[in-house]
Amino acid sequence: MESMHDLVVIGAGAAGLGAAQYAARANLEVLVLEEMAHGGQALLIDRLENYPGLPEPVDGYTWSETMRSQAETFGAAFSSTSVNSVKKSGEHFEISTTDGPLLAKAVILATGAKHRHAGVKGEEEFGGRGVSYCATCDGPFFKGKAMVVIGGGDAACDEAMYLAKIASEVTMIHRKDRFRAQKALADRVLSNPKIKVIWDTVAEEIRGEKSVQGITIRNLKTNELSNLDCSAVFVFVGSIPQTGAMPAELQLDETGYIVANDRMETSIPGLYAVGDVRTTPFRQVITAVADGAVAAHCAAQYIDELEGHAYQ
């Protein structure tokens, strides 16, 4: 029979790393499962400048490495594997992974969300050939060339700022007449001379032969079509919560995010949800880490109750 872990954290983004650190520091035996690189979407941040206690901006990779190192110092273990399913069996959880089954007294879901596609003609065809969802990953391939960003939230504005450093010009296309991004970030975009914003507009088609050569756009007020020449199109139009391996009975909201209370508890006792995968009014690195800390604390209390060690 496989060994029983106190706590398994699924996902090593900001929320998972925060949970791992606080749970290990609470003397729980913690295993963190991550199928890709630890850090999650934080890895895409060029300059993390609004995290308290960091007066000088750092890149997402450096921040993620520090978080993982801290968690390991406190005793958390990390494993590179994919999770196939999670189900509750009696008072414990059974977790199926590509490396075999695991058992846990409690589980924290920090699986995050993946980039949503725009659904534009040519988007799939030119994926990896000029269409991208990660500016820091692919932007340098198009250094000195014209680039287009689709979207108007925090991610779109943050990535446009990064691309403006390396592109000849950046054009942002947004379906509304104002950004939904935080005001400070939006103001920096609007004041950047290398970024042009086209409001009330959507993408109709991404064009090219072997790679992206341009994009056709449509004004939502006039229905007028126009063409822009560009070498790359970066899409930032929201995210899809990653809940595919979760129990079927887990409560989700109407958009597919996990419903969790202020203790990060889900509809299944002992199962917690943190970060971008849960319902929350604000998705930032700092709130994800805080989610993880709260979940770790509450999971420790839950395990104490299971074992009859709850503080009276």
Among the listed residues 254, 289, 258, the one whose alpha carbon sits nearest the alpha carbon of residue 271: 258
State yes or no: is 137 an active-site residue: yes
Angle at 155 between CA 150 and CA 159, to 5 degrees: 75
State yes or no: is 134 an active-site residue: yes
Residue 133 gets which letter from DSSP?
A: S
User: What distance, in Å, lies between the first and last C-alpha atoms of the chain?
Assistant: 33
CB-based contacts of 209, cutoff 8 Å, min separation 6: none
What are the two backbone dihedrals, phi and then psi, of residue 173, each rounded to the nearest 5 degrees? -115, 120
Residues found in the chain: 312
What are the two backbone dihedrals, phi and then psi, of residue 205, each rounded to the nearest 5 degrees? -160, 140
> Mapping DSSP to helix (H, G, I), strand (E, B) and coil, where does residue 63 land?
helix
State yes or no: is 157 an active-site residue: no
State how far the Cα of 306 lies from the Cα of 301, in Å rounded to an integer.
9
One of 46, 59, 134, 200 is an active-site residue; which one? 134
One of 99, 137, 177, 187 is an active-site residue; which one? 137
One of 46, 59, 99, 138 is an active-site residue; which one? 138
- Dig out the tokens for 76 from the structure: 């958390």
Active site residues: 134, 137-138
